[in-house]
Structure 1
């Protein structure tokens, strides 16, 4: 029994240490994802070690100590996404309907044909803004039935699993579709006009994941996140970034995005809201995200019921509350973070100047 336990401990240590290496290979970056599962595996392994090994031996306590360190390390990453952590974003008080912004983010899965179940969700929860990922021309035909209630839209139907659509009850101004890093991976950039007249700079993203079937390395995804983050860090506008980022909330690269951008994560202190994989309960991670500037507080955030995709939809309701939210703070950026971000962007020849700024677009139109 001792040899299998030693092997299992060595595998746990390898999986724990691998993400510390900043190499962009999909296997390395993929170890950022199952931290919750690795924490569960470490807990089970500790139990097996205590029951099966001779506690009078020093090597037994060495194995237990190593496993405990691995468990503590995994928990350090995922604990902020539990109710045991202090909330990063304040809860809305005395909400003003004119300053409300609810966004439903959904990767619909291109081959999924359960459009009726999805449209039922949209009707039931009635978001101000709907963004769909992986939506092709077939999906567009069915999504267009929403236009009676959501007359403002941006459409980019594609057959490569990276189509994107936005439908809105609120006016969309200065809209632009861009291909920031890869020629076939779109992003959308827009100003959303709230009922109060306030404008919200918004970026909808869906970078490609690192995987053996698509991009063997994460550099393209990471570069897109880096340049968007760098483009908004000095903005004094209210900002929202949402989409399927193909990265988990607790990864080093998502944390880098938050540090560079200064945006807040309303899930911190509230829960993980794992949106993928919808069909496998024991292998789920938070891949669909919404980040926002300090101008907002959060009224609610929820994962919606299954509608046939491999993702659940994420519904987030914010309140534009710049006075109440002005002292909210996220992660602090350090010099090493800036150097890492620069190397990622330069490797892909990407620049923050490539990211459309809807506010500047509006100014140019006025001129």
Structure 2
């Protein structure tokens, strides 16, 4: 039993410190996700070891100290997403917000066939805008008749590769674009949204690739940071939304916030885990909304599941540029900007490589 605890202790400690390595390797970046799980498991191992065997000698003392540092390392990442931390996003003080809108984000999961259950949830929530990640043509055909009655403005790109995207809006959309920033098969949307009072803001919707077996994260980092830089330099306030396939406490997300100057409404409020809706013990915040300090938070909710492996979320924001300076946000220094540029360049090069491979695979076989 003692040997087993020692093995697990050092394994979980390794899991804690490996993500500190600045590398896009999938088996490192995937360890950004289970910070809370590793902290809890390592704490259990530590408490069990101390209760059963105590500490004798320098070697065991050093081991216990290393395990404790591993726990503290995990806690420092997730602490900001507990109610103990200071809220980053301030709530509106307006009793009747004059420039408010509600945005709903839902990764519908392409293979999920519970179209009607999803529609009923959308109709119940009745958001001003709806972002759907992962819809294919079957999803589009199943929801469009009902949604077109409510949402006169749309951007549509259903795909069969799990990276399709649909945007439905009651608010006027201008200058809308479907863009493929890094990989040919992974779209993102850009549009200028007009509020009822005439004020406008930029909306970026994204869904980059996640770290997974034999697929590193260069393209994910590049897409998110490209959007971060663009959103910072537009003439309007910006909102970035979608399934980012990254957790709120990762180095990439922190760098995204530094470059964009955006706010995360989760900070100081909770995890609002959206994935996995199917496995209660393994849930992470993967679906996000970040926004410029010109907005104030009205509400943030995780909604009930509808058959997908993601929970949908809704956020209501009010446009209050007169209070922009009151909200603190991260600011990029020169090192951050240089790091972002390097990651973007690496991701674009990797994207070109993947695009070439994709084109090669599509070429018909040649016969003599």
Q: TM-score, normalised by structure 1?
A: 0.92
Does the CA contact (< 8 Å) of 2:220 and 2:347 recur in 1?
no
Residue 104, structure 1, aligned to residue 104, structure 2: yes
What secondary structure does 1:299 align onto? strand
- Aligned equivalent of 2:320: 321
Does the CA contact (< 8 Å) of 1:240 and 1:291 recur in 2?
yes
- Aligned equivalent of 2:208: 207
- Aligned equivalent of 1:52: 52
Q: Which runs of 5+ in 1 are unaligned?
A: 351-367
Residue 225, structure 1, aligned to residue 224, structure 2: yes
Give 1:332 shift.
2.7
Give 1:97 shift.
4.6
What secondary structure does 1:43 align onto? helix
In 2, Cα distance between equivalents of 1:81 and 1:169? 32
- Aligned equivalent of 2:11: 11
Give 1:337 shift.
1.9
Does the CA contact (< 8 Å) of 1:109 and 1:135 recur in 2?
yes
Does the CA contact (< 8 Å) of 2:219 and 2:348 recur in 1?
no
The superposition leaves residues 65-118 of structure 1 with CA deviations (integer Å, 9 ceiling, x where unpaired) of 222111111111001111111000101111445401210000000010111111
- Aligned equivalent of 1:155: 156
The superposition leaves residues 183-205 of structure 1 with CA deviations (integer Å, 9 ceiling, x where unpaired) of 01000000111111110101000
- Aligned equivalent of 1:337: 336
The superposition leaves residues 109-135 of structure 1 with CA deviations (integer Å, 9 ceiling, x where unpaired) of 001011111111111111110000000
Q: TM-score, normalised by structure 2?
A: 0.91
- Aligned equivalent of 1:86: 86
- Aligned equivalent of 1:33: 33
- Aligned equivalent of 1:364: none
* Farther-moved stretch of structure 1 (329-338 vs 102-111): 329-338
In 2, Cα distance between equivalents of 1:15 and 1:320? 41
Give 1:278 shift.
0.5
Give 1:41 shift.
0.8
- Aligned equivalent of 1:181: 182
The superposition leaves residues 135-188 of structure 1 with CA deviations (integer Å, 9 ceiling, x where unpaired) of 011111122111111111111011000110011111111110000000010000
Give 1:235 shift.
3.4
Residue 70, structure 1, aligned to residue 70, structure 2: yes
- Taking the TM superposition and a 5 Å limit, the aligned residue runs for 1:240-319 are 240-319=239-318
What secondary structure does 2:327 align onto? coil
Does the CA contact (< 8 Å) of 1:188 and 1:205 recur in 2?
yes
Q: Which runs of 5+ in 2 are unaligned?
A: 350-368
In 2, Cα distance between equivalents of 1:345 and 1:23? 14
What secondary structure does 1:135 align onto? coil
Does the CA contact (< 8 Å) of 1:49 and 1:64 recur in 2?
no
What secondary structure does 1:61 align onto? helix
In 1, Cα distance between equivalents of 2:315 and 2:285? 14
Does the CA contact (< 8 Å) of 2:17 and 2:73 recur in 1?
no
Does the CA contact (< 8 Å) of 2:300 and 2:313 recur in 1?
yes
- Aligned equivalent of 2:173: 172
In 1, Cα distance between equivalents of 2:322 and 2:43? 44
- Aligned equivalent of 2:199: 198
- Aligned equivalent of 1:346: 345
Q: Over aligned residue pairs, what C-alpha RMSD do you find?
A: 1.4
In 2, Cα distance between equivalents of 1:77 and 1:235? 30
Give 1:281 shift.
0.9
Does the CA contact (< 8 Å) of 1:96 and 1:319 recur in 2?
no
